[in-house]
Amino acid sequence: MGIKTKDEYIESLRSLNPTAYMFGEKLTNIVDNPRLRAGIEATGATYEMAELDPDLMITTSPLINEPVSRFTLPPGNTEDLVARVKVNRKIANHVGTCHQRCTGLDCLSTLAIVTYDIDKKYGTEYYPRFMEFLKYMQKNDLTANAGVTDVKGDRSLLPYQQVDKDMFIHVVEKRADGIVVRGAKAHQTGSLSSHEIIVLPSRAMAKEDKDYALAFAVPADTKGLIHVVGRSSLDMRELDGCDIGNAYYSKYCPTLIFDDVFVPWDRVFLCGETEFALDMVVKFSSFHRQSHGGCKAGKIDCMVGCALTLMDYNGTSKVSHLKQKVIDMIHRAETLYGCCLASSYEGQKQPSGAYFIDTVLANASKIHEGKEMAEATRLMIDCSGGFVADLPSDRDFSNPEIGDLLKKYLKGVDNIPVEKRVKMYRLAEKLALESADTISDIHGGGSPEAHRVTIFRETNIDDKKKAARRLAGIAD
Ligand SMILES: Cc1cc2nc3c(=O)[nH]c(=O)nc-3n(C[C@H](O)[C@H](O)[C@H](O)COP(=O)(O)OP(=O)(O)OC[C@H]3O[C@@H](n4cnc5c(N)ncnc54)[C@H](O)[C@@H]3O)c2cc1C
């Protein structure tokens, strides 16, 4: 009970027995699989950081009146909203990839607001149920994954209109003790590094979508839940044990199939109140887009460090156009960070007492991220050189026939051992080209168009028109 150490977190995953597949084979040991372990280590860093920097990472929960990780605390004031951004930047800078624990907090933060609003309207009991679940998460310092993105079938059709009715997760049976659900969620970041899967709706719903308006939580190893780990561009490297790039951490994203999964009522937080599906989507995606901004600022910090170090190793550290490019990377990190901090400072208390960020600022940050992370990556590659693309393998460097020749020809400045230069190029490759990480800059938290739509919907358009009319001397 209480705050877990990193070792305790990793041991706690050993007690789970999820059904999981990778490369066509059923996995029997998740924690010691090198590919998955690199992801688990990244989430483990959130526990490690609680030991290294408790002032930032640990706070007191008013719910259980005990110290808790910030990853289990829905924000209760502006300070908590600000801490979300700082925590994500610090850990991303530590792991150089996605730490995979923010999505669970974003779900908890959403449910702490919306379940209360549903109960107010319908006299349901979602909020007290959710509070009990939250106590369990906090007391055991658990990690949750966000099961939001349905596989969606034909994107032009609503859930109830799909030819195959399982394209969005839905209720197939209601029982006295709970519900049975079927469907699949795609791109489930770190689902096997998580103790719990929290499912929220992925889109606005019509009245006819009653069976699809669902939020609930299940343990990651619950019966009927199947994790199928997705391929990503560098996924064989950890399995090969060679040319890994990031020496400690990585990211993976399974597809999660819910093959008639039972959920007891005390873990159901929305069931049929269709108009609240949109509210859950807006709250979750805004929180998550804010998490991204803090996190990706921290990742750009790593890319800046990588570019500057390679400039040192290459003898180009005084070249002025490269310094300009590094400045262009730094200002992109600070723009993301600044937008997300601003969205915290402009946050508001909600009827439940939990706090919500400014949606427009959080979405503005995510629009920048979609383009500017790609630009920061391009700049890092520009500063670093072509070996980001095609460096010979470590096995070639240790080959007795060609190793010494490679070491001779791949040396940069004289006083830097070639091994250091090779390692830094590998890191640049990982930072730039790990698809499980980089594609989330664009699609994670929703596609770029979703950010635009949210910005327009949440902006006070009338106030802006009114100000223009007044300046033009047009009476209302
Ligand atoms: C690396 C990575 C990690 C992720 N992690 C998670 C996670 O942990 N949990 C989770 O739940 N999700 C996660 N996601 C999912 C992410 O939120 C989705 O990828 C995103 O919402 C886009 O959905 P999609 O992939 O189904 O693409 P699509 O929805 O098919 O979108 C493709 C394009 O079509 C457009 N489009 C689609 N439908 C319409 C329409 N009806 N009208 C107009 N335009 C449309 C979109 O705007 C987009 O430009 C992750 C994604 C990635 C890539």
If you ran DSSP here, which 8-state letter would residue 72 be given? G
Cβ of 152 below 6 Å from ligand 1 = yes
Query: Is the pLDDT at 82 greater than 70, yes or no?
Result: yes
Q: Average pLDDT over the chain, rounded to whole? A: 97
Does domain 280-460 fall into CATH 1.20.140.10?
Answer: yes
Q: What is the pLDDT of residue 324?
A: 98
Q: What is the pLDDT of residue 1?
A: 64
Q: What is the pLDDT of residue 283?
A: 96
Cβ of 154 below 6 Å from ligand 1 = no
Mean pLDDT in residue range 45-69: 97
Pocket residue to mutate for ligand 1, from 43, 99, 145, 149, most atoms within 8 A of Cβ: 149
Q: Which of 13, 422, 5, 37 is nearest to 249 (CA)?
A: 37
And the tokens for 366? Answer: 């995510």
Query: Which amino acid makes up residue 427?
Result: L
Dihedral sign of CA atoms 17, 245, 51, 71 in order: negative
Cβ proximity of 4 and 67 under 8 Å: no
Nearest residue CA, atom 52 of ligand 1?
440
Specify the ligand 1 atom closest to the Cα of 442: 53
User: What percent of the chain is predicted at pLDDT more than 90?
Assistant: 99
Cβ proximity of 425 and 384 under 8 Å: yes
H or E segment to which residue 349 belongs: strand 348-349
Pocket residue to mutate for ligand 1, from 168, 187, 299, 433, most atoms within 8 A of Cβ: 187
Q: What is the pLDDT of residue 2?
A: 82
Cβ of 250 below 6 Å from ligand 1 = no
Nearest residue CA, atom 26 of ligand 1?
151
Specify the ligand 1 atom closest to the Cα of 445: 17
For residue range 176-218, what is the model confidence (pLDDT) as tens digits? 999 999 999 999 999 999 999 999 999 999 999 999 999 999 9
For residue range 242-256, what is the model confidence (pLDDT) as tens digits? 999 999 999 999 999
Cβ proximity of 106 and 288 under 8 Å: yes
Q: Which of 375, 358, 382 is nearest to 454 (CA)?
A: 358
In the reported structure, the alpha carbon of residue 368 is separated from the centroid of ligand 1 by a whole-number distance in angstroms of 17
Mean pLDDT in residue range 308-337: 98
Domain edges within the chain: 280-460
Confidence category of residue 476, pLDDT binned at 50, 70, 90? confident
Dihedral sign of CA atoms 162, 165, 166, 168 in order: positive
And the tokens for 51? Answer: 């030991």
Mean pLDDT in residue range 115-143: 98
Mean pLDDT in residue range 301-328: 98
Mean pLDDT in residue range 82-87: 98
Distance CA 192, CA 435 (A): 18
And the tokens for 451? Answer: 């950010």
For residue range 365-378, what is the model confidence (pLDDT) as tens digits? 999 999 999 999 99
